[in-house]
């Protein structure tokens, strides 16, 4: 397995990224957490958010 994906999200395998997205959506919808908070916890940015 390529360990570069641990430091570069662009290298995360599609299957893994889809799983992470499902966890994030679950946290927002069912956990009632703000999308910005979930993105921050996952160390990712939300689509359309300013840099």
pLDDT tens-digit map of 30-43? 999 999 999 899 88
pLDDT tens-digit map of 16-29? 889 999 999 999 99
Integer CA distances (angstroms), 30 to 10, 14, 21, 34, 37, in order: 27, 24, 14, 11, 14
pLDDT of 42 reads: 86
pLDDT of 2 reads: 62
pTM of the model: 0.69
4 with 14: CB under 8 angstroms?
no
pLDDT of 13 reads: 87
């Amino acid at each position: 397995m390529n360990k570069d994906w641990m430091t570069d999200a662009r290298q995360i395998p599609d299957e893994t990224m889809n799983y992470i997205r499902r966890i994030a959506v679950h946290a927002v919808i069912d956990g009632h957490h703000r999308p910005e908070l979930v993105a921050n916890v996952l160390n990712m940015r939300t689509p359309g958010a300013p840099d």
